[in-house]
Structure 1
Amino acid sequence: MSKIFGKVAQNGYVVKDIKAAMDHWVNVLGVGPWFYVEKVPTDYFRHRGVDSGMQFSAALANSGDLQIELIQQLNDEPSMYKEFLDAGNEGLQHVAYWVTNYDEVYNKALEAGLKVGHEGQIGGPQGRFSYFDTELHPGTVVELSDISGQKGKYFELIKAAAQNWDGKDPIRKVG
């Protein structure tokens, strides 16, 4: 349990081929179903304080209480995902903490000396997320994600789908 963030809710993997990664998680590890968005619509995205046109695909599934996120960047715009891949990495890139008091926790993180690497918003103010530049070991950073709005309900739907998943319809395209 983090004194600042609470409990880890998600492991995020940055991959070069999201379809191959979903296939691996389904057919080798038996994790699914995956909720896949081919091009995630962001309200805004900033990398190190500067607007970026970064575009990405994402897929989400649960393994028990832990959500697994797969991310494939679709262009060469600046992001921490691109930095991770450019450093020769692929795989676990972040651990995410979900909160309903985003501003309070965000400010505590800044007060603790953490620096924002990139941040953005999906679906309005209750869809904010921030990645803090806290590489304690190569690659892994901390994400803070606001789940006080529709995103929290969506994450609950994904968790429920995984609980009784019978192996059918392993990739569910969203949007």
Structure 2
Amino acid sequence: MSPGGLPIRQVAYFCADVRAAALAHHRRFGSGPFFVADGIEVTRSLHRGVERPFDHSSAYGQWGELMIEFVQQNNSGPSALHDLYPEGSGRWGLHHVALFVDDVDAAIARLDQEGFPLAQRSVRPDGFVFAFVDTSAAYGHMTELYAPTPGLTGFYRMVAEAGRKGVGTEVLIPLTL
């Protein structure tokens, strides 16, 4: 369980190359297949209160009962990803766990009152909001928050179902988000 008693829905790792990381994880642990989205579009992204570009790619797969994500940042500059893994450091690893919350902004406010500041809040073209709260001082990683919209829960079901069926010939499957 996570802070507040909410179940962790996803574990995400920051990496240099989402495809290489997903393939290595698949070979080592049998996870996947992985759905790979390049250049995930956001219409607005505030990092530490400053609007900044946030160009990232992700690979999503199932690992047992949990979704696993590998995420890379495609642009240079500050972000919640670079908060834990500074640009040019060559360091990679666990970045965040993701939680479903009923109200992202209310959860951000609650966690801020508990001493966990907002690192980044981003909005996708369809209005979908995701946020990274900096819980690293207590847990060693960020916590991602998003509301369980029908599109999101359907995506989680699709990834889980692909994981249950097992990996066919394709471990990496292109995905447009």
TM-score (norm 1): 0.88
Q: Check conservation: 1:45, 1:119, Cα contact below 8 A.
A: yes
1:106 aligns with 108
Quote the offset at 1:124 in angstroms.
Answer: 2.8
Q: Check conservation: 1:7, 1:97, Cα contact below 8 A.
A: yes
Counterpart AA for 1:44: R
1:49 and 2:49 equivalent?
A: yes
Distance 2:69 2:63 in 1: 11
Q: Flag structure 1 segments of 5+ consecutive residues without an equivalent.
A: none
2:60 aligns with 60
Aligned residues: 174
Distance 2:105 2:83 in 1: 26
Question: Which SS does the other structure have where 1:167 is aligned?
Answer: coil
Q: Percent identity?
A: 25
Quote the offset at 1:37 in angstroms.
Answer: 0.5
Matches within 5 A, 1:122-137: 122-125=124-127, 127-136=128-137
1:89 and 2:91 equivalent?
A: yes
Q: Check conservation: 1:94, 1:141, Cα contact below 8 A.
A: yes
Distance 1:61 1:151 in 2: 14
1:31 and 2:28 equivalent?
A: no
Deviations 1:32-64 (A, max 9, x none): 110100110112111101111121111101112
Counterpart AA for 1:124: D
Deviations 1:134-170 (A, max 9, x none): 2136851111122224122111111111111143211
Cα distance change, pair 151–138 in 1 and its aligned pair in 2 (3 A): closer
Q: Flag structure 2 segments of 5+ consecutive residues without an equivalent.
A: none
Quote the offset at 1:5 in angstroms.
Answer: 5.5
